[in-house]
Amino acid sequence: MSLFDLTGKSAIITGSSRGIGKAIAEAMAEQGAHVVISSRKPGPCQEVASAINEKHGEGTAIAVPANISEKAELQAMVDATNEAFGKVDIVVCNAASNPYYGPLEGISDEQFEKILSNNIISNNWLIQMCVPQMRERKDGAVILVSSIGGLKGSPVIGAYNISKAADFQLARNLATEYGKDNIRVNCIAPGLIKTDFARALWENPETLKRALITTPMARIGEPVEIAGAAVYLASAAGAYMTGQMMVVDGGVTIT
């Protein structure tokens, strides 16, 4: 059996109707997992779930729309997962918000609070909803999709970077609390990836050129290149890894 096999596992992946989340869901389904496709809009969620079911068999994926800022909707998603698949083995907190682009001195309280709430507090909500059953089974994997922004300062996405740095500590803290129950909690810290979420950073030729100057691989990443890291962290291959931050950035942080 492959170290990366996920047969019999079920995974919730937030923000999985596109970009990195979609790539992670597809990769986990490829390895045998049942997956929950979730984002705010029902249509895109169903499209991704239907495509996965067509490729891997009906019932491999379900679509459960949910707004991560609404605790009740997250609980409904967990309940739907338990009903459809019987359990939650893997939680991937991928959805995030960044409603402000500019220096911190100009951010409104509402914008700052939204970033911190959606990118940190909602992650903790979802994890706490799933941990009890993982504890009972003495098995579980939690993955936070953070960012190398959490390792750097920025004049334009500072609040977002603060939230992503907090995710690193959330993983470390929860890994400490749940390690004895064989629940692993880790972060993936992507560099610049070609997603709609990061479009403002790569679509402008000048912005892209500046980014690539400090990228040894001289290109930006693709969503599928983050998906492999998620499969590793969720599978037996990553069974002894917890509380860590896996940087996948084409070498940006080494220069």
- At residue 95, the pLDDT reads 97
Average of pLDDT values for 176-201? 90
- 50 vs 203, which has greater pLDDT? 50
Concatenating the DSSP letter of every residue in the chain gives --TT--TT-EEEEET-SSHHHHHHHHHHHHTT-EEEEE-S-HHHHHHHHHHHHHHH-TTSEEE----TT-HHHHHHHHHHHHHHHS---EEEE--------B-GGG--HHHHHHHHIIIIIHHHHHHHHHHHHHHHHT-EEEEEE--GGGGS--SSBHHHHHHHHHHHHHHHHHHHHHGGGTEEEEEEEE-SB-SSTTHHHHSSHHHHHHHHHT-TTSS-B-THHHHHHHHHHHSGGGTT--S-EEEESTTGGG-
Q: Is the pLDDT of residue 119 over 90?
A: yes
Catalytic residue set: 160
- At residue 121, the pLDDT reads 98
- At residue 206, the pLDDT reads 80
- At residue 201, the pLDDT reads 67
pTM for the whole structure: 0.95
pLDDT in tens, 139-170: 999 999 999 999 999 999 999 999 999 999 99
pLDDT in tens, 195-246: 877 676 667 778 788 888 999 999 999 999 999 999 999 999 999 999 999 9
pLDDT in tens, 52-93: 999 999 999 999 999 999 999 999 999 999 999 999 999 999
- At residue 67, the pLDDT reads 97
Domains and CATH numbers, the chain: 10-250 (3.40.50.720)
